[in-house]
Amino acid sequence: MVGAALLVLLGLVLFVAGILTGVTALYWACVAVCVVAAVRLLLVRRKLRATPGAPARTAAKAPSTPAVPAVPDAGQAAPVAIPPAAWPAVGPEDLADPPVEQV
């Protein structure tokens, strides 16, 4: 994987050199190097997927303990959910203008 990263950096250098010098061959060398880097990344990905004994990647599981305890601790207040209907009806146009900073 490090080899592919170095190839991408080499491709960037070739691209910039091609832009600065106007030599078209450097641009096409950049394309070729980046294609080789992409192929290497695909091969590494396939190899990692086929490795026996590697843990399968799955979607994130739910946490084993709830984020909010069912019974709050004695020293902590329980979180309170405020329904949207109780939110104040203040829009951005109702707020005061911020002070102007002199530059």
Within-domain flag for 97: no
Contacts of residue 78, Cβ cutoff 8 Å, sequence gap at least 6: 72
Q: What angle do CA 99, 101, 103 make, to 5 degrees?
A: 165
| Total count of domains within the chain | 1
| pLDDT at residue 10 greater than cutoff 70 | yes
Do 7 and 37 meet the contact criterion of CB atoms below 8 Å apart? yes
Q: How many CA atoms lie within 13 A of 24 on its CB side?
A: 0
Place of tokens 């207040």: 77
Residue numbers of the domain that contains 46: 26-51
What is the tens place of the pLDDT at every residue in 31-51? 999 999 999 999 988 888 876
Which parts of 22-93 fold into alpha helices (H)? 24-50
Q: pTM of this prediction?
A: 0.47
Within-domain flag for 33: yes
Angle between helices 2-21 and 24-50 (to 10 degrees): 170
| pLDDT at residue 69 greater than cutoff 90 | no
